[in-house]
Amino acid sequence: MTNKQSSVQTSVSSELKLNKLTLEQIYARSKDVKLRSLQIAGQRAALLLSIDGLVDEALTDLHLVSPLLREPMETVSFEQLKSIVTTADLHTSTDMNEVVHCAANGSVILFVDQLDSALIANLPKWQQRSIEEPAAESVIRGPREGFTETMSVNTSMMRRKIKHPALKMLAMQVGRFTKTEVAVVFIEGIANESLVEEVKLRISKIDIDGILESGYIEGFIEDHPLSPFPQIQVSERPDVVSAALLEGKIGILVDGTPFCLIAPTTFFSLLQSPEDYYQRFIISTFIRWLRFLFLFISLLLPSLYVAILTFHQEMVPTSLLLSIAKSREEIPFPALIEALLMEISFEALREAGVRLPKQVGSAVSIVGALVIGQAATSAGLVSSPMVMVVAITGIASFLLPQYSAGIAIRVLRFPIMFLAGMFGLLGLMLGIIAIVIHLCSLRSLGVPYLQPVAPLKWSEIKDTLMRFPIWAMRTRPSLTGRTNLYRQSKTNRKAQRKGDDA
């Protein structure tokens, strides 16, 4: 070997040692990081980096290590390495930051003497939860699958629902330390391009140490963070997200959580269940009206009871008023304090039931409510009618399909109760007016929160207060799917009529 060749070999070996030293410094005190030295192509040194628990060790030995040690190579190049290594997902990189990022995502990194780049083989394997039905969005009729915490599984489920190449998934990365993968999902040609750019802009402006759940993203991109009402819908169901994409909306998938964000959203979409579209439209319309009725009951019933008992006893029939007065004759508190005691106790029991183990949670919440209600009535702290009012209110709040909308109604129940206790029905009406004004002022990515009622769009009412037949809903929402307004042909209705004639 000449002196020139010797100096080249020495300098290259120094570069490999420098890479090893750099990696050891980056992953200092990291027990799960593996750095293995190999000898390939004679005496050519190589360095293999992997993270324990994120890489499939069996596939690494089978498709990467064994071919490199077994195949003879006179000269080493990336083209030759790619022809020897028997895994398809390969690429090279000269950026150490990209190398570290790929290693954290389950890739195996190979450094070889005399090569100025690293060979990256994607061979991930980690423990993940199986696909199950979402507990918070269960349906009687419909798909039983829900998202998991793994991004690749969630994107594949979306591809199974929407097989058209117009389904786009833009990859983004958020979080200085977590480097969380975020995918902006939309259907090109249906979604408004300005909405897509607005979502990308808002996510790209997020500068935070880490993103651990989609709620972090939601808090940064919503229009009115101080409002109790959610301006972004959350779902674990691929069918719900797919239906939203077909309306021109945008989905945001976050790695590490099964909850997908849907934007923009409206108040009425939060009151819709996926099952509304899987059963007959007459039944769906009836259930939707029932949902609206119990929404008002959940929000206003305790306040209405307090207002009438405190200021407007003449509105109650005499026999009923005498019965209520008899049950309240030993109660030491006014109606407002009585209602607050029962409502706070019920909310505490409900939260306790959620936090307790599933085997005992529901039993404790139900039995606890019965026992405490009966004990409070026997002790003369609350009246029997108040226990009934609080129980009906609690049942009504369970009819709302979206938990985020239901908890907003539960929070607003208390200020309205105070207004009713101080001003009677006048305070109740002031509370309702304030809520309506607030709802009218809200926007979700610029889309009015009460669309299509405010502003009024008659063509879209058919899927708001009621649910028309599927063949009658020809158009998409105008503010999200305006670029491709018609979702089906008129021939569907003609085929329906022919079927009726037959």
Q: What is the pLDDT, as a whole number, of residue 38?
A: 79
Q: Which residue has the higher pLDDT, 345 or 289?
A: 289
Instruction: Look at residue 4 and tell me whether its pLDDT is greater than 60.
Output: no
From the CB of residue 457, how many other CB atoms can be counted at a distance below 10 Å?
A: 16
Give pLDDT, residue 307: 92
The structure tokens listed for 81 are 């390495």
| Residue 351 reports pLDDT greater than 90 | no
What is the DSSP-derived secondary structure letter of residue 259?
Answer: P
Q: Which neighbouring-strand residues pair with 233?
A: 262
The pair of structure tokens assigned to 410 is 């539960």
pLDDT of 289 reads: 92
Span 405-432, pLDDT tens digits: 889 999 999 999 999 999 999 999 999 9
- Tell me how far apart the alpha carbons of residues 326 and 42 are, in angstroms, rounded to a whole number: 99
336: pLDDT strictly greater than 60: yes
In the chain, the amino acid numbered 41 is: A
Q: pLDDT tens, 157-199?
A: 999 999 999 999 999 999 999 889 999 999 998 988 889 999 9
Cβ atoms of 94 and 118 closer than 8 Å: yes
Angle separating helix axes 96-104 and 3-26, nearest 10 degrees: 50
Beta-bridge mates of residue 170:
184
28 pLDDT more than 80: no
- Cα–Cα distances (Å) from 14 to 112, 193, 250, 283, 321, in that order, read 12, 51, 50, 75, 94
Quote the CA–CA distance of 252 and 214 in Å, as a whole number: 8
What's the pLDDT tens digit per position in 33-83? 888 887 776 667 788 888 888 888 888 888 888 888 877 666 677 777 877
pLDDT single digits (tens) 250-299: 999 999 999 999 999 999 999 988 888 898 889 999 999 999 999 999 99
Q: What residues have CB less than 8 Å from 117, skipping those under 6 apart?
A: 78, 92, 93, 94
Tokens standing for residue 323? 């019965």
Range scoring the smallest mean pLDDT among 25-39, 131-145, 215-229? 25-39
In this prediction, residue 362 carries a pLDDT of 61
The count of other CB atoms within 10 Å of the CB of residue 188 is 14
User: For all residues of the chain together, what is the average pLDDT?
Assistant: 84
Indicate whether 7 pLDDT > 50. Answer: no
* Cα 273–Cα 276–Cα 280 angle in degrees, nearest 5: 165
Token pair recorded at residue 367: 């039995």
pLDDT at 91 over 50: yes
Question: How far apart, in whole angstroms, are the C-alpha atoms of residue 172 and residue 78?
Answer: 28
